Structure 1
Amino acid sequence: MRKVSALLLVSERRAISGLAGLYASRMLGLFMVLPVLALYADALEGSTPLLVGVALGIYGLTQATLQIPFGLLSDRIGRKRVIAMGLVIFALGSVVAALSDTIIGVIMGRALQGGGAVAAAIMALLADQTREEIRTAAMATIGLSIGVSFAIAMVLGPWLAAWAGLAGVFWFTALLTLVGLLVLWRWVPAAPRRRRHRDVGMDRQQFKSVITRPDLWRLDMSIFALHLVLMAIFVAVPFRLLNAGVAIEYHGLAYLGIMALSFVAMVPLIIVAEKRQRMRLMCLMAIGAIVISLAGLGLPLSPSYWLFVWLFVFFTGFNLLEATLPSMLSKLAPAGAKGTAMGVYSTSQFLGAFLGGTLGGLLAHYGGLNAVFIGCAGLALCWWGAMWRMPSPPPLSSEVVALHETQADALDLLMEHLADVVGVEDVMVVPEERLVYLKVNRQQLDEAALNKLMAPPKS
């Protein structure tokens, strides 16, 4: 729609690289524990499968509770201050967990890690630092960094634990967080201003309309269920690898192979979903793959290579959903409500992680490892049924356009003209932000008419 320079400003490059690194390093620290905690928990006093599950997922509860308050606080006292405070809390939680020789101490440390809930503040600072026309690409970089951090964590966690024990994983996380503080203050530039961004932050006025839309809550339920089953199965998956003859020090290599193959398999499926408008089909296929793989993991494995087959199928479905669900949300969220929709979506994800860890621990405690997989397969099957009636999202994308002074004086007329442009499906004008939020169908959009309408007057 608008001609955008391919070159980022220096401040934008530093903001995007620094904040994406901060976000990824936090997620790396949270995820590295997944493949190793259950294996090393026997050395912790008071350890039971239930408490191991709680330790895995407890960060999700504190993260879900505090991420919106931290975001609002960043509007008041500054983004960097809040991010720094959250990183210090995260580092403190890592130290508490590293020093603990009881499972309760590790649970407390993981809860503190989740208490450093700065995701919303990081996204808001990124929005402050970037122009409207490149903001979507900047946010996509954050999303990519999360996926990469998960893959790295699955490989790095077992290697660190084999070398330095469970405490070493937490010490490494604390060190990484301290490096993040240096990046925040020395590399990420100060924001020129603090503003509300409806494409990033939460808008209380739109909250009710977002959570009551069936298409959006189906996506919230999907990310909830996805992270529930992910966290639950890691109470059991590490033991399955051991039973298959994979020594602890080689678990990282096993995950590396599985994750690499699943990423390769996922790419053509994403292309089909995006380019051929088959998102609903790909979503149902991914959930179905998760159901089948979990059921397969819950059955006696003979020969043992079936373990790797089922894990490959699971992570292909998992990675596909991690990529397509946010894209579907972006297409379905009303103009100007993307930030609010993403806030609800993220909260659902963290709550799913918390309940998944607890559920996995309960199933393992009372039913054994097979019960974890069979129970999760049953839940995933219910999830598949709930998504069956999900409509295919329209091929819409979000646009943010700056208002010029003459347009601000005639908003009602401007909205009428924008609504008449072919391909513009939804419009929200926010005078106090001097921005227009649009939902457009790029296959039908009359770009010439839109550019002419939004062009500043000639002097």
Structure 2
Amino acid sequence: MTAIERRAVVSLAMVYAFRMLGLFSLLPVLALYADEYQFSTPVLVGLALGIYGLGQACLQLPMGMLSDRIGRKPVIIFGLLLFVAGGVLAASADNIFLIIFGRLLQGAGAIASTLTALLADLTREEHRSKAMAAIGGSIGIAFALAMILGPAIAAGVGLSGLFLVTSGLAFASILLVIFLVPSPPRQYSDADAQAMTGLLGRCLRDPQLMRLNVGIFVLHGILMAIFVVVPGLLEQQGLVAASHWQVYLPVMGLAFVLMLPLMIVAEKQGKSKAVFLLSIGGLVVSMFFASLVWANFWGVVLVLLVFFIGFNLLEASLPSLVSKMVYPGGKGTAMGVYSTFQFMGAFCGGVLGGWLVGHWGGAVVFVAAGLVALVWLLLAWGMTLPAASKSLVIAWQFGEWDASRLRGELMVLTGAIELTVLEKEQTAYFRVSDAFDRTQLPQGLEWRA
């Protein structure tokens, strides 16, 4: 990587991390402090937890398309300003409805797809996978820190103070975008890095991709639903809110350590599907077990440990599987749809979790989560992993080739698997086997890996 590329990756990873730290630091504490606000009910607490996902789900793709027109940085800064405003509004709240509206404003700053597009603008194709891995790592670290720091900060300065901290993190991100993130010399239209509306229908019709989309919906729905319940269970067992980090710190650390051997088995021994199904099975078992031991402190701790081992594995595996299964040139669109399902799952999980707690109690939330996870396990059972392959990006001079001629000449080559043609961009994405001989390509076509 060049110095500019390294600066782009580090600074954008920090923006991602600050933003996710702000979003998720409320997860382990919001249900504990909600009684301090007027009109609070379990349903409204669940809505406050998950409603950021509604804003993210509805505005993720529109914000990305707006950035294609007016530039990446203005959209990112605007989204972060919305996040700042949402945190300040929630910090000043004396009733649960203002908390809900503040969280919705935070979610309306839906800039994840725009950040990804900016990263693509600032890095070369051959370094993009490493750049995205760094971003993914920063998000994982931010989530773990949020679970630990959220309770500690809220214990010191209250929920209002925690909301102000989230606004401060968003403001720091604005400064990073202005002063540290490089400005791209030009914006690229890269179907592997950003959503293309013309490819959306193909993505939604792909049964393999939809299995993964349903999976991330369920995973984040369960996460939000159980955290309407878990903080209260820990408090009922005598652990004051200020000490909840003492549970989350060892649980998150041990879950990460125990996840690593399973990841190695999945990648090195070709057991990706088996480990994937085992992880979903872990969710099923942990949720049904939680419905039996929810009144026991060590039972809840064990449930959290098993849940987060599975959660961490699935959170890492699902985006990788999307990248492997998506049709050539569809990665940006597929990840946009995937993110929309993820955030919609968070919204639905929070609302349904709160509703179930309000009507039938916490144990029923775990039973419902277990049943939903079981349905996901049955859907995932039919998943087929693709054979090892690689993608070539094909370009040509205007007027020399069209979609029909490209398909006719490329798809008959030995090792050809799938082809996506974007005629207006004079670009095609060509999936081929690892053994494909590039010297077969017809003259007049330029390619890059």
> Structures share a fold, TM > 0.5?
yes
Change (3 A) 1:241 1:120: same
Change (3 A) 1:417 1:88: same
Q: Distance in 2 between matches of 1:13 and 1:389?
A: 40
SS in structure 2 at match of 1:33: coil
Q: Would you say the 8 A contact 1:242–1:248 is kept in 2? A: yes
Partner of 2:109: 116
Is the counterpart of residue 146 in structure 1 residue 133 in structure 2? no
Residue correspondences, number: 447
SS in structure 2 at match of 1:299: helix
Partner of 1:227: 220
Partner of 1:237: 230
Q: Distance in 2 between matches of 1:314 and 1:370?
A: 16
Q: Distance in 2 between matches of 1:201 and 1:88?
A: 23
Residue identity in the other structure for 1:378: L
SS in structure 1 at match of 2:244: helix
Residue identity in the other structure for 2:142: S
Partner of 1:170: 163
Partner of 1:3: none
Is the counterpart of residue 198 in structure 1 residue 191 in structure 2? yes
- 1:301 deviates by 5.0
For structure 2, the 5+ residue unaligned runs are: none
Q: Would you say the 8 A contact 1:277–1:395 is kept in 2? A: no
Q: Would you say the 8 A contact 2:67–2:75 is kept in 1? A: yes
Q: Would you say the 8 A contact 1:279–1:328 is kept in 2? A: no
For structure 1, the 5+ residue unaligned runs are: 1-7
Q: Would you say the 8 A contact 2:46–2:228 is kept in 1? A: yes
Q: Would you say the 8 A contact 1:224–1:350 is kept in 2? A: yes
Percent sequence identity is 45
User: Among 307, 320, 332, which residue is 1:314 paired with?
Assistant: 307
SS in structure 2 at match of 1:201: coil
Q: How does 1:286-297 map to 2 (within 5 A)?
A: 286-297=279-290
Partner of 1:4: none
Identify the range of structure 1 (297-306 vs 360-369) with the bigger mean alpha-carbon deviation: 297-306
Residue identity in the other structure for 1:322: E
- 1:420 deviates by 5.8
Q: Distance in 2 between matches of 1:298 and 1:30?
A: 27
User: Among 413, 416, 428, which residue is 2:420 paired with?
Assistant: 428
Q: Distance in 2 between matches of 1:138 and 1:407?
A: 35
User: Among 397, 419, 429, which residue is 1:437 paired with?
Assistant: 429
Q: Would you say the 8 A contact 1:408–1:431 is kept in 2? A: no
1:388-417 CA deviation, whole Å, 9 max, x = no partner? 2222333335x3546475996698777666
SS in structure 2 at match of 1:298: helix
Residue identity in the other structure for 2:419: V
Partner of 2:268: 275
- 1:172 deviates by 0.5
1:257-306 CA deviation, whole Å, 9 max, x = no partner? 11111111111212222233322222211111001101111113575322
Q: Distance in 1 between matches of 2:446 and 2:221?
A: 49
Q: Distance in 2 between matches of 1:306 and 1:453?
A: 66
Change (3 A) 1:365 1:124: same
Residue identity in the other structure for 2:124: R
Q: Distance in 2 between matches of 1:213 and 1:413?
A: 25
Q: Distance in 1 between matches of 2:368 and 2:299?
A: 19
Is the counterpart of residue 329 in structure 1 residue 322 in structure 2? yes
- 1:434 deviates by 5.4
- 1:136 deviates by 2.0
Partner of 1:97: 90
- 1:238 deviates by 0.7
Change (3 A) 1:297 1:78: same
- 1:253 deviates by 2.4
Partner of 2:252: 259
Q: Distance in 2 between matches of 1:75 and 1:143?
A: 23
Aligned-residue CA RMSD (Å) = 2.4
SS in structure 1 at match of 2:368: helix
Q: Distance in 2 between matches of 1:453 and 1:23?
A: 43
Partner of 1:61: 54
Identify the range of structure 1 (265-274 vs 43-52) with the bigger mean alpha-carbon deviation: 265-274
- 1:241 deviates by 1.6
Change (3 A) 1:99 1:447: farther
Is the counterpart of residue 339 in structure 1 residue 346 in structure 2? no
Q: Would you say the 8 A contact 2:233–2:295 is kept in 1? A: no
